[in-house]
Amino acid sequence: LLFSNVAFADIQIKMYQVQNLKIPKIVGVIDAKDTQYGLLLRPNLYDLAPGIHGFHVHLTPSCLKEGMAA
């Protein structure tokens, strides 16, 4: 059996509120960590209205063309 070393990376992804806003507003970050079990996402968000929210992450961060540019 062969084992390889896997590099695990930690990054912070800025999160923006874009719905009904002309200028996207930053609402926090998602801490992303590659683990041996898969990608771990930890949201650290603020300034959101109470209720259920969702998010998605784009490889190319562009909100142009109603998000289709990403």
How confident is the model at residue 56, as a pLDDT?
A: 72
What burial class does residue 29 get, using C-beta atoms within 10 Å of its C-beta: 0-12 exposed, 13-18 middle, 19+ buried?
middle
| pLDDT tens string 24-65 | 788 999 999 988 898 899 999 998 889 998 877 677 767 676
User: Is residue 21 predicted with pLDDT exceeding 50?
Assistant: yes
**Cα 5 off chain centre by:** 26
What DSSP designation does 19 have?
A: T
